[in-house]
């Protein structure tokens, strides 16, 4: 059981797929929560639980803590530093907690610009899909000052059950990135190896079963292999939305002079899949790029579909 919360005014911006259930958790657990939204279809549910909905981010300016759950760098930059930006309205000492997944370089920029205004920032991306947000069992990876992490910890542990302090500014995003990059490489590996096996005449269902019972298995293979066999490319996060992780890694590797050649090759597969029109599908769909090249389909063998 979590310790009781101190009476703190908390704001939340971005009530989307993740933000809405996260905000609901906060308010259900007794937070004095103030929300604002562009789309606003999350208001009724949140109000019903006791949240206060306001018209504009500006009205959150006197909150002590503000959570963000926004799609990406451009929106966050606009919300914080745009013409109507929140940053210039916040009092020194306010804490902004960004639970969005954003590029490492951009997060460092946010830390620096807010710090110049005396505002504390924590990068705190989450993992776990919507269902774990609803259950309050997200993994939350935090980067920034320890002091800031400690201050917001009571609220973080209402949203996640694995709340980690990873180190200085950017460390939260970086930790999440490390996990994502491995996942992305695993998906790109499947994309080239599975169609090859098909081209060489193997039976897809048997190959899938050998992999998932063998040393070649991964979360990626367990999640995607059954779906690829059934040609279902809609259950995972879409390629185009997750692409920002690869942008983040490419910039980080380049700027910090860290060679990551396997990732670089996987990134090219990812990009080719986007360019070939698979962006709205999930990462399993990278296999389709190679299937088209090799003129095969990695699906349950019907005795007739071998290219």
Ligand X SMILES: NC(=O)C1=CN([C@@H]2O[C@H](COP(=O)(O)OP(=O)(O)OC[C@H]3O[C@@H](n4cnc5c(N)ncnc54)[C@H](OP(=O)(O)O)[C@@H]3O)[C@@H](O)[C@H]2O)C=CC1
221 makes contact with a copy of itself (CB under 8 A): yes
Is residue 69 within the footprint of ligand X (CB under 6 A)? Answer: yes
16 binds, among ligand X, a copy of itself, none (CB under 5 to 8 A by kind): ligand X
Query: From the list 11, 19, 144, 204, which residue makes contact with ligand X (rule: CB under 6 A)?
Result: 19
Q: Which stretch binds ligand X (CB under 6 A): 16-24, 189-197, 201-209, 275-283?
A: 16-24
With binding defined as CB under 6 A, does residue 180 bind ligand X?
A: no
State the virtual CA torsion across 63, 66, 70, 75 in degrees, nearest 10: 60
Q: How far is the CB of 294 from a copy of itself (least distance, A)?
A: 7
Segment near ligand X (CB under 6 A), from 64-72, 81-89, 213-221, 296-304? Answer: 64-72
Bridging pattern class, strands 126-127 and 138-143: antiparallel
Contact status: 101 vs a copy of itself (CB under 8 A): no
Cα gap 26→50, rounded to integer Å:
10
Sign of torsion over alpha carbons 129, 133, 138, 142: positive
The count of other CB atoms within 10 Å of the CB of residue 125 is 24
Of 8, 28, 52, 127, the one binding ligand X (CB under 6 A) is: 127
Nearer to a copy of itself, 42 or 208 (CB): 208
Q: Which residue has the tokens 């911006």?
A: 13
Question: In angstroms, what is the minimal distance from the CB of 190 to ligand X?
Answer: 20
9 catalytic residue (yes or no) = no
Q: Which of 120, 30, 44, 114 is nearest to 79 (CA)?
A: 114
70 binds, among ligand X, a copy of itself, none (CB under 5 to 8 A by kind): ligand X
Choose, from 20, 176, 281, 283, the residue flagged as catalytic: 176
Return the residue of 13, 26, 35, 246 that touches a copy of itself, per CB under 8 A. 246
Q: Should residue 75 be labelled a site residue for ligand X when binding is judged by CB under 6 A?
A: yes
Do residues 283 and 237 lie in contact, with contact meaning Cβ atoms separated by under 8 Å? yes
CB-count burial class (<10 Å; 0-12, 13-18, 19+) for 239: buried
Show contacts with ligand X in window 187-246 (CB under 6 A): 237
What is the contact mask toward a copy of itself in residues 150 to 169, using x (rule: CB under 8 A)?
A: ------------x-x-xxx-
Q: Do 71 and 242 touch, CB atoms closer than 8 A?
A: no
The first and second tokens of residue 183, run together, are 């996942």
User: By the 8 A CB rule, do 167 and 142 touch?
Assistant: no
Query: Does 64 contact a copy of itself by CB under 8 A?
Result: no
Task: State how far the alpha carbon of 256 is from the alpha carbons of 85, 93, 246, 250, 260, in Å.
Answer: 31, 31, 15, 10, 11
The catalytic residues are 176
Using CB under 6 A, list all residues that contact ligand X.
Answer: 14-19, 37-39, 69-71, 75, 79, 100-101, 126-127, 129-130, 237
């Amino acid at each position: 059981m979590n310790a009781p919360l101190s009476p703190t005014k908390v704001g939340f911006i971005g009530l989307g797929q993740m933000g809405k259930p996260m905000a609901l958790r906060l308010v259900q657990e007794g937070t004095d929560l103030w929300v604002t939204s562009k789309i606003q279809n999350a208001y009724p549910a949140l109000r019903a639980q006791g949240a206060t909905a306001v018209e504009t981010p500006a009205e959150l300016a006197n909150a002590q803590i503000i959570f963000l759950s926004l799609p990406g760098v451009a929106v966050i930059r606009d919300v914080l530093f745009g013409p109507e930006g929140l940053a210039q309205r916040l009092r020194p000492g306010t804490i902004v907690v960004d639970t969005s997944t954003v590029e490492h370089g951009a997060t460092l920029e946010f830390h620096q610009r807010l710090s110049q205004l005396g505002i504390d920032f924590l990068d705190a991306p989450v993992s776990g899909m919507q269902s774990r947000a609803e259950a309050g069992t997200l993994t939350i990876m935090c980067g920034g000052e320890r002091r800031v992490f400690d201050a917001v910890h009571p609220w973080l542990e209402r949203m996640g059950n694995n709340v980690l302090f990873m180190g200085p500014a950017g460390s939260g995003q970086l930790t999440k990135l490390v996990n994502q990059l491995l996942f992305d490489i695993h998906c790109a590996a499947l994309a080239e190896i599975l169609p090859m096996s098909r081209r060489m005449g193997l039976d897809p269902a048997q190959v899938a079963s050998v992999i998932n019972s063998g040393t070649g298995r991964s979360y990626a293979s367990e999640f995607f292999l059954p779906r690829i066999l059934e040609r279902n490319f809609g259950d995972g996060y879409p390629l185009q939305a997750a692409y920002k992780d690869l942008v983040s890694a490419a910039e980080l590797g380049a700027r910090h002079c860290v060679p990551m050649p396997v990732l670089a090759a996987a990134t090219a597969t990812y990009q080719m899949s986007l360019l070939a029109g698979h962006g709205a599908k999930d990462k399993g769909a990278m296999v389709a790029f190679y299937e088209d090249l090799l003129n095969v389909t990695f699906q349950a063998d019907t005795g007739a579909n071998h290219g």
